[in-house]
Structure formats: C-alpha cells, structure tokens
A = this chain, B = another copy of it.
Amino acid sequence: MSETTEALRDAEPRARIVATAERLFREIGFQKTTVADIARELRMSPANVYRFFGSKAEIHVAVAGHLMSEVEAAAQQIAFGPGSASERLRALVIGNEKMNAERYLADRKLHDMVEAALDEHWPAIDAHIDRIDGLIESIIAAGMVTGKFAKGDPGLAARLVHTACIRFCHPRLMVEYADRPEPTSAQMIEFCLAALRAGVAV
C-alpha cells in the first residue's frame, strides 16, 4: 500500500480519536482520561488506538495541536481575507483572544492540559507562535507595501505586535489578568497600529 493511501485510510480514525479525546479531556480532565476510556467511547480496542498513537502523550499533543490549528485556520482566513491591513490586524488579535478564551478559560479541565503543555514546553506551542507570527507578518508586510504602515522589517514588527498582545492570547495570562479590565485587546491593537503607522527605528 502506498504511503498516501495509508494516510487516507488512517485519517478518519485518527481524527475520531483526537475528537473523542478532546471531549473526554473537557469532561473528566486530561490527566484522568485513559487510552482505555477513549477506546471504549469509540467502541474499539485500546490496541487499535495504539495503532494510531504510540502513547497517551502523543494523543495529548494531537489534541493540543488540533485546538491550536483551529485558531490558526481562523487567523489565516482573516490574514488573507478582505479589509485593510489595520482592519485585518484588529480582527486577528481580537478573534485570537476570543477563540483562546473559549478553548482554555471556559473549560477549567482543558486548561489543565494547557498548563502541562506550557510547563513541559511542548514543541507544538513554539510552532503555533511561529505560525501566528507569520500571519501577522503577512498583514504588516501588505500594510508596508500600501504605505499604511511605515517601512521596516515586517518580521520584527510582527513579533513586536504579537508580544505586545501576549496578555490577550496566552492562556495563563488570560487567567492571571482576568480581574484587570484595562487595557483591553482593542486598546492594545490601536496602540500597536499607532506604532506601525509611525514606524520605529529598531
């Protein structure tokens, strides 16, 4: 069997395992969920689950990756969608905040997985930050071309905007600063837009 055919055949069960694991993580917590629990929900044997994932840890990483990939897909739609560079940057930061709040704040049990991911430095997080950086960069680069933003290094500008907005997308900070109403993400993005329009010698 070719690798492609095998990938296609495996796609559906993999996705179902990830979706079921995510639901159980939300319901009973990611520490308490066992591979046997996931298999039972799917009416398959644990051995069958292990055909797709080498360990429970691999399922964790796949669930985290799936949650972040949804955020990335929404950000990508905004980055390459209609609107001025400023409008898209606003929509991306505020959309990102909203999706992260839905994922990691509303659900205390899912937040435990995020804590583990952060504590253990799962590489998926770094990749996620890089992808969001890249999407912000593409918006800023477009704004620099049209003259909306001052000329400069769009990659560095993207990392500055993303870092300035970290309090609105980092799950831990969203919890820690929940009681501080200001600045809002809307205020922060206007602050960043002012800097991008003015340009900065860095």
Contacts and interface: CB of A to CB of B under 8 A. Distances in A.
B200 A160 contact: no
A200 to B, nearest CB: 4
A159 B182 contact: yes
Contacts of A193: 200
A202 B129 CA distance: 27
A90 interface: no
B183 A190 contact: no
A199 interface: yes
A202 B195 CA distance: 14
A153 to B, nearest CB: 10
A160 B172 contact: no
A44 interface: no
A77 interface: no
A191 interface: yes
Interface string A52-92: 00000000000000000000000000000000000000000
Interface residues on chain A, size class: 20 to 34
Contacts of A195: 191-192, 194-195, 198
Contact of A191 (B121, B180, B183, B202): B202
A118 B176 contact: yes
A35 interface: no
Given A195-B195, A200-B193, A188 B160 contact: yes
Contacts of A164: 163-164, 188, 191-192
A167 interface: yes
6 contacts: A159-B183, A160-B183, A160-B187, A160-B191, A163-B167, A172-B172
Per CB-CB distance, the 7 closest pairs between chain A and chain B, nearest first, are A164-B164, A195-B195, A198-B198, A194-B200, A194-B195, A194-B198, A187-B202
Given A160-B191, A166-B173, 6 more contacts: A156-B183, A163-B167, A191-B192, A194-B195, A197-B198, A198-B198
